[in-house]
A = this chain, B = another copy of it.
Amino acid sequence: MSLRELVAAEARLARAAVPHLNDVAVSHALREAATAVAERGDAILAANELDLSEEEGVLDPGTIDRLRLDGPRLNALAEQLTAMADLEPLPREGAAWTLPNGLAVSELRIPIGVVGANFEARPNVALDIAAQLLKSLNAGVMRTGGAALRTVTVLVDDVLRPSLEATGLPPGAVGLVRSPDREGARVLVSLPHEIPLVILRGSGETTAALAKRAAEHGVRALAHAEGGGVLYLHGSAAEEKVQHIVEQSLDRLGVCNRLNLLLIDHEARHLLPCVLGVTARLGIEARATERARTLDRSRLAALDERLGHEWANDAERVATMTVDLVDDLGEAAAIANHETSGLAAGIVAEDEAAAEAFLNAYRGTAAFWHATTRFTDGFALTGAPETGINVDWSPGPRGPVTYRDLWLRQYRIIGDATQTR
């Protein structure tokens, strides 16, 4: 069988499962799966050992670490499944009204059907995504980064599928692209009839290329590809809060929602030393536009990238951020809107009217006042893990996407034919 036929076969199994999914059974199945993680721990760890043995020295240490499972991490997987089982089901009924002609109209949220998901080589993400798809009563076909394929195969075949079956649900509800080849991701986004929607986790050019391919094939993608947090320091900003939020915004590197572009208002230039104190302590290099460099040429390196460049995604200089100097709030919002991907931006300002104006002017997926853009995360904001982040400029799930977003609108109309002229 070709890879395409293999993926289509998993999608067919998944599609056949969709009508059988229901909230009660899915919660049961996720609890079963939590138990199965413990029971099948040896098999999971053995597969993970094999995955790791092939990648040691090939992948970077961070990636290896995210791929690795051990006893405590197995426990965390089980807890994560139980937490998903405990979450409220997605409400299925939206607004309802009766028309003057007597027709009863309601807006329902029906399952999408088969949803694809492409993600990095992390076993915990596989369970996370599978749980979210099931929780929204969708079936799925997953594709993991090749390095985790053995581990994820055991998680699908020995944990998820038996748990579905034990609960009376069709095991094929969770499908897998059973090939480590990157071509698997390309196939996953090119089957519009079998898999009309694909969640693309991850950032950078690979994701952008997959999103483009999906579009060309008539497949909708919820994708991120680019991101980065913006922080604007208003003239009324309190130094203590600036220090705190900059620090919170750089507590972790390599993540899209960390501080990427700092915009200092002309009136707030006295706060630059405070910012540079934090970045120096954290080992972050500050690169600045020419106009910002006039503030402190010795501590601000020249920017050799466009303003909205996402450093988190730049393997060579992940510990870097950009600084720019702006004339006013309007310019800050314009830069955040037009020079960045529109993931998230925040303002530090004691002046409430200024904060309000910035929040109203910013058009990205999440706007913050006196809080770090690091909170741009489905779990942090909504209590449900996110399947990914979507940054496009169209109606539908935008920003962190959770299981609560994975539905289709359907109007349902009930009438009595003899009365509805």
Contact = CB atoms under 8 A, between A and B. Distances in A.
A222 B392 CA distance: 14
Contacts of A197: 393-395
Given A371-B414, A371-B417, A112 B395 contact: yes
A370 B381 CA distance: 43
A119 interface: no
Interface in A28-57: none
A3 interface: no
A409 to B, nearest CB: 4
Contacts of A168: none
Interface in A357-392: 359, 361, 363-372, 375-376, 380-382, 392
Nearest to A241: B417
A418 B414 CA distance: 54
Interface in A79-126: 99, 103, 105, 110, 112-113
Contacts of A216: 212, 215-216
A212 B215 CA distance: 8
A406 interface: yes
Given A395-B405, A396-B395, A366 B411 contact: yes
A103 B19 contact: no
A415 interface: yes
A93 to B, nearest CB: 13
Contact of A365 (B218, B371, B395, B410): B410
A410 B398 contact: yes
A224 interface: no
Contacts of A248: 417, 420-421
A228 interface: no
Contacts of A392: 196, 220
Contact of A394 (B112, B240, B421): B112
A357 to B, nearest CB: 11
B412 A366 contact: yes
A399 to B, nearest CB: 5
A96 to B, nearest CB: 12
A297 interface: no
Contacts of A316: none
A370 B410 contact: no
Nearest to A193: B338
Contacts of A348: 417
A395 B399 contact: no
A339 to B, nearest CB: 11
Contacts of A395: 112, 197, 222, 396-397, 405-408
B370 A240 contact: no
A60 interface: no
A194 to B, nearest CB: 11
A227 to B, nearest CB: 14
Q: Which residue of A375, A393, A395 has the most chain B CB atoms within 10 A of its CB atom?
A: A395
Contacts of A220: 392-394
B381 A408 contact: no
Contacts of A409: 365, 396-399
A414 B241 CA distance: 13
Given A393-B112, A410-B367, A244 B418 contact: yes
A105 B363 contact: no
Going nearest first, the 7 A-B pairs with the smallest beta carbon separation are A396-B396, A371-B415, A196-B393, A215-B215, A220-B394, A241-B417, A366-B411
12 contacts: A99-B381, A112-B393, A216-B216, A220-B392, A241-B417, A244-B418, A365-B410, A367-B411, A367-B412, A368-B412, A381-B413, A395-B396
Given A365-B410, A371-B413, A381-B411, 9 more contacts: A103-B371, A110-B363, A241-B417, A366-B410, A367-B413, A368-B413, A370-B416, A370-B420, A395-B397
